[in-house]
Structure 1
Amino acid sequence: MATDIAEQPAGFARLLEPAQADPIARVAAAIAERRPRHVVFTARGTSDHAALYAAYLTEIRLGLPAGLASPSTITLFGARPDLSDALVVGVSQSGGSPDLAEVLRVARSAGALTLAVTNAPDSPLVEVAELAVDVAAGHERAVAATKTYTAELLALLMLVEGIRAGDGALPAAERAALDALPELAAATLADRTPEELAPRYRFAAQLVTTGRGYAYPTAREAALKLMETSYLPALAFSGADLLHGPLAMTDPDVPVLAVVGSGPGGRAMGEVLPRLAERGADLVAVGSAAVPGAATRLAVPEVDERYAPLLDILPLQRLALALALARGEDPDAPRGLKKVTATM
């Protein structure tokens, strides 16, 4: 897991090279030409969080309605929704989940444009899709996904911005911002704060993660990583949902990891953080700015809020790794889990 985490800056650089970026641009141009009226994402686990990030991008940057499909409506209940004029995107690290492949097969037969986003270009998901994007993360050694997650994020970001451009080509300013990501990721990973923080939560009984907007998928992915590597119950809430009841469970014995960006989503957390302080929550802030009342900050370089999820998750992955080791667990082989989970 440590090796996989460390490879993420190189993974960003690889995706931005012409050998990977040009095929993504061609897929983006093909989608733009078809002019879908709405976008449906289907995914499981970590890839579901990448899909949620892409749904935010789709609605904000493309102005198209976007949502996450429930595969079981098709695979278990036999639903055949009208997906004509839709773009249906399957996001899967392995491309081997039968339910996701079935969703794309049904969607394509219903007239949808289908796209597979995966780290396995020879997978069943790619076979059933009309278009495919290879996230090119390379072999992932640990069961817990890390570098494939951030590769999915970057590939989906490049795809959405390419669709927005119309011809798949990223504007010069966008390209320059993305080109800075490998160096920024390396700088983020050089900070040892996650390892220093881990012993503090060795005996935690539960934990909460939260964020708004683009930061919400990060909060969900961080919670999943903590649960599957440390077996620590971790609940993820959007900042808004946290105020609708779950806030009551926070107190000095419940650590809260708050992902706070510099854009509208981060500013919206301004109504959440004081309420957490009132509850005496043990608050850890993740992001580029200092947060009043936070006991610790996992610092991340400041970037446009759209790009922040590619960096914000890095110290949280390292925290999950360090916490698992502090609790005497094996983060490379979580009990009961396999790299490919076959569900229907």
Structure 2
Amino acid sequence: MAADLAEQPAGYARLLEPDRADAIARVARAIAERRPRHVVYAARGTSDHAALYAAYLTEIRLSLPAGLASPSTMTLFGARPDLSDALVVGVSQSGGSADLAEVLRVARGAGALTLAVTNAPDSPLAGLAELSVDIAAGHERAVAATKTYTAELLALLMLVEGVRAGDGRLPAAERAALAELPELAERVLADPAAGALAPRYRFAGQLVTTGRGYAYPTAREAALKLMETSYLPALAFSGADLLHGPLAMTDPDVPVLALVGSGPGGDAMRAVLPRLAERGADVVTIGSAEVPGAVRIAVPEVDERYAPLLDILPLQRLALALALARGEDPDAPRGLNKVTSTH
């Protein structure tokens, strides 16, 4: 897991290389030419959180309705929705999930434009889709996905922004901003602050993660990483949903990891923090925004769209350090395999 974590800056650089960027641009251009009226993402596990991030991007940047599919409606219940004007995107590191392949098969039969985003370009999922994007993350050693997740995020970001541009090519300013990501990721991973927090949570019985907007998928992915490596029950909520009831469970014995960055999502989270303080919650913030009086894992400030590609890195580091502090093996979580088969 440590080796996979360390490879993420190189993974960003690899996806931004001209040949790979051009390949994503060609897919984006083909999508723009088809002019879909809505977008459906199909994914499981970690990839589901990357798909959720893409759904936010799609609605905010493309003004297209977007959502996450429930594969069981098609695989178990036989539903055949009208997808004739849709783009249906299967997001899967392995490309081997039978239920996601079935979603793309049904969607293509229903007239949708289908796309596979995967780390396995020769996989069944990629073979079923009309279009495919290779996230080029390389072999991932640990069961807990890290570098494939961040590669999915960047590939989906480049794809959506390419569709927005129309011709698939990212504007010069966007390319310049993304070119800084590898060096920023190196800096974040070199910061020992996240690992140093492991003793704080070593004996925690449960934990809450929270964020708004683009940061909400990061909160969900952080919770998953903590659960699958440290077996720590972690509940993820949007900052808005947290106030609609779950706030009652927070107290000094329930730690909270709050994603607080710049932009509208970060501004909304700053309104949540006083309510957590009223409950006496043990809060640590992650992000670029300074919060007076709060313990903070600082992350460089970037455009709010890019923040998930940096904010998740210290949380991955924390998951690794906490698993080791609790005497667990983060490379081989009990009961889990690298590829999970669902139907």
Please indicate, yes or no, whether the TM-score normalized by the shorter chain is above 0.5: yes
Q: Which residue of 1 aligns with 2:330?
A: 331
Whole-angstrom CA distance in 2 between matches of 1:266 and 1:98? 37
- How far is the alpha carbon of 1:271 from its aligned partner? 1.9
Matched to 2:314, the amino acid is P
Q: Which runs of 5+ in 1 are unaligned?
A: none
- Counterpart Cα distance in 2 of 1:44 and 1:34: 26
Match runs of 1:244-283 below 5 Å: 244-283=244-283
CA offsets per residue over residues 9-33 of structure 1, 9 Å max, x none?
A: 0000000001211110000000000
Q: Identity across aligned pairs (percent)?
A: 87
Letter in structure 2 aligned against 1:141: R
Aligned to 2:232: 232
Contact in 1 for aligned 2:260/2:270 (Cα 8 Å): no
The alpha carbon displacement at 1:292 in A equals 2.7
Find out whether 1:289 has 2:282 as its counterpart. Answer: no
Cα drift, residue 290 of structure 1: 1.6
CA–CA distance in structure 2, aligned partners of residues 286 and 305 of structure 1? 13
Q: Tell me, yes or no, if structure 1 residue 19 matches structure 2 residue 19.
A: yes
Give distance in 1, aligned partners of 2:293 and 2:79: 49
Q: Is the 8 A contact 1:277 1:293 kept in 2?
A: no
- Equivalence for 1:81: 81
Equivalences for 1:192-203 in 2 at 5 Å? 192-203=192-203
8 Å CA contact retained: 1:8, 1:150:
yes
| Aligned match of 1:54 | 54
d(CA) in 1 for partners of 2:170, 2:195: 37
RMSD of the alignment, in Å? 0.5
Q: Find the counterpart in structure 1 of residue 214 from structure 2.
A: 214
Deviation, structure 1 residue 261: 1.5
**What's the counterpart of residue 178 of structure 2?**
178
Task: State whether residues 266 and 289 of structure 2, in contact with CA within 8 Å, keep that contact through their aligned partners in structure 1.
Answer: no
| Structure 1 Cα separation of the partners of residues 281 and 157 of structure 2 | 34
Where in structure 1 do 4 or more consecutive aligned residues deviate above 2 Å? none
Q: Distance in 1 between matches of 2:238 and 2:281?
A: 16
Structure 2 unaligned spans of 5+: none
Structure 2: which amino acid aligns with 1:303?
Answer: V
TM-score in terms of structure 1 length = 0.99
8 Å CA contact 2:43, 2:90 repeated in 1: yes
**1:170-195 Cα shifts (integer Å, max 9, x gaps):** 00000000000000000101100111
Q: State the SS of the aligned residue for 2:301.
A: coil
The CA deviation at 1:131 is: 0.2
Partner of 1:142: 142
Deviation at 1:264, TM superposition (A): 0.2
Q: Does the Cα contact within 8 Å between 1:283 and 1:293 map onto a contact in 2? A: no
